[in-house]
Structure 1
Amino acid sequence: MTLWRLEWLRLVRTRRLVAILGAYLFFGLTGPLTARYLDRILGGIGTEGVRVQLPAPTPADGIAQFTGNASQIGLLVVVLVAASALAFDARREMAVFLRTRVRGAAAVILPAYLVSAAAAVSALTLGTLAAWYETAVLLGGLPVARLLVGLACGALFLAFAVAVTALAAAITRGVAATAGAALAALLALAVADGLTGVPWLPTRLAGAMETLVRGEPATGLPAGAALTAALTAGALAAAVAVSDRREL
């Protein structure tokens, strides 16, 4: 059995694939619904006599609800699933079994990375299609080209997030430590984005879909995509280099 098949079977048989797909599909279906009926939801839980009146929702609001949840809870699920696959040194028996059958850590890390990243991108695509359909039914049509570009940006960000998780797994030991370190690094990037407003940070790609469908200019997205791709490759290379030098 190849390591590629091993990673795929582990993803499927442990129901981790179901967790990723289910999370994004849920937000894809409920995001536009929330945007469409938000005024009624708030009115139902408000104080008696207080009337909640919001602007009429637009198609972009449906996508915004989806991307908001996907970039937070969805990303959390992706990092946790990726950490469980990439932190193979956390289980000594598994680490010995794998490392004594390959020439270098790259043969172990790359299958785990690519399978995890592919699962994350597939989940994002499924959730986007669901959000697209629900938005078209409830709120109206969306600019298709901009939506697809936003999807590509989101997919690149998830590939970057899984690469950061791979590097965290090489530096730390344990699934919890790996997930915590990766999430801390991604949170630090988000904070830096909020404080500096730099338009080409990787975190901008996570919200690019909303930005684009609202018709806003894609300022910094090409540079951000190039930087994110470079950082993804660098994180993977660093993960392999650190893992190759690690003692069991």
Structure 2
Amino acid sequence: MTLWRLEWLRLTRTRRLPALVGVYVFFGFVGPLTARYLPEILDRFGSGDFQVIVPDPVPSDGIAQFAANVTQIGLLVAVVVAAGALTLDALPEMAIFLRTRVASPAMLVIPRAVTVAGAVAVAYLAGVGIAWYETVLLLGGVPVGGLLLGALFGVVYLAFAVAVAAAVGSRLGSVLSTVLATLLVLLLMPLAGIVDVVERWLPSHLVGAQVG
């Protein structure tokens, strides 16, 4: 059995892939629904002492709600799944078994990183497709070209997050520490934007591309 097939089986049999797809598809449904019915929800459950004025929803709001959810909870789930696969020494016995059968650690990391990044991309694109369909039904049409370009940028950012998890996981010994360190890197990276030369090249700019 090749390492590529091993990683695919690990991803599917441990239910990581269904969890990824489920999260992104769920937000694909919920995002446009929230954007469409938020005014009614606020009117129904709001207090009589004050009034919250919400602008009428437009098609971009449906995609914006989806993007807001997946760049928070969706990203967290992706990082957890990536850390589980890419923390090489999380299971010492398995790590020793595999490390003694490959020429370099890269031969262990690459199949895991590519498999996880592919799974995250599929889950994310499935969510984008659902969000687009729901938005068209509830709020109106969305320019497909811009949506696809934004989705491509989103995939690139998620692949970057997986790469960070791979770099961190190859050096840390527990899944939790890999998750925390990866999230810390992703959260602190925008601070580098205070340097003008660096700011425009930060991967964190890709996060808002889906709605920009």
TM-score by length of 1: 0.81
Alpha-carbon deviations, 1:147-193, whole Å to 9, x = none?
11101100000110000000111222110001110000000014445
5 Å-filtered alignment, 1:210-225, equals: 210-211=211-212
Post-superposition CA distance 1:186-222 (Å, at most 9, x none): 00014445x67833310111110100xxxxxxxxxxx
| C-alpha distance 179-31 of structure 1, shift in aligned 2 (>3 A) | same
Query: Could you tell me how far apart the structure 1 residues matched to 2:31 and 2:184 are?
Result: 26
Name stretches of at least 5 consecutive residues in structure 1 with no aligned partner: 212-248
1:12 is matched with 12
* Structure 1 residue 52 displacement after superposition: 3.1
Report what 2:153 is aligned to: 153
Please give the per-residue CA displacement for 1:82-113, whole angstroms capped at 9, x wherever unaligned. Answer: 00001121211011110111111111100000
Cα pair 2:117 2:162 within 8 Å, conserved: yes
- Structure 1 distance, partners of 2:195, 2:16, is 36
2:106 aligned partner: 106
Alignment partner, residue 66 of structure 2: 66
CA deviations over 1:114-172 (Å, ceiling 9, x no partner): 00000110011000000000000000101111111101100000110000000111222
Equivalences for residues 112-191 of structure 1 within 5 A: 112-191=112-191
Higher relative contact order (CA 8 A, sep 6+): 2
- Separation in 1 of the partners of 2:49 and 2:179? 46
Alpha-carbon distance in structure 1 between the residues aligned to 2:26 and 2:141: 20
What is the alpha-carbon distance in structure 2 between the residues aligned to residue 27 and residue 196 of structure 1?
A: 34
Aligned partners of 1:179 and 1:172: how far apart in 2?
A: 10
Query: Which blocks of at least 5 consecutive residues in structure 2 are unaligned?
Result: none
> Match of 2:110, as an amino acid?
L
* Cα contact 2:117–2:159 (8 A) shared by 1: yes
* Aligned partners of 2:31 and 2:62 also within 8 Å: yes
Please name the residue that 2:205 is paired with: 204
Q: Distance in 2 between matches of 1:188 and 1:45?
A: 37
State the alpha-carbon separation in 2 of the partners of residues 48 and 192 from structure 1: 45
Q: CA deviation at 1:44?
A: 2.5
* d(CA) in 1 for partners of 2:186, 2:171: 16
Whole-Å separation in 1 of the counterparts to 2:95 and 2:169 = 12
Provide the aligned C-alpha RMSD in A: 1.4
List per-residue Cα deviations over 1:22-68 (Å, max 9, x = no partner). Answer: 11001111100000011112222211354433111111110000000
**Structure 2: how far apart are the matches of 1:116 and 1:69?**
20
Once the two structures are aligned, what percentage of the paired residues are identical? 52
Q: Give the letter aligned to residue 182 of structure 1.
A: T
2:92 maps to 1:81: no
Residue 88 of structure 2 aligns with an amino acid whose one-letter code is F
What is the rounded CA distance, in whole Å, between the counterparts of 2:167 and 2:211 in structure 1?
29
Q: How far apart in 1 are the matches of 2:63 and 2:195?
A: 25
Runs of 4 or more, structure 1, over 6 Å off, are none
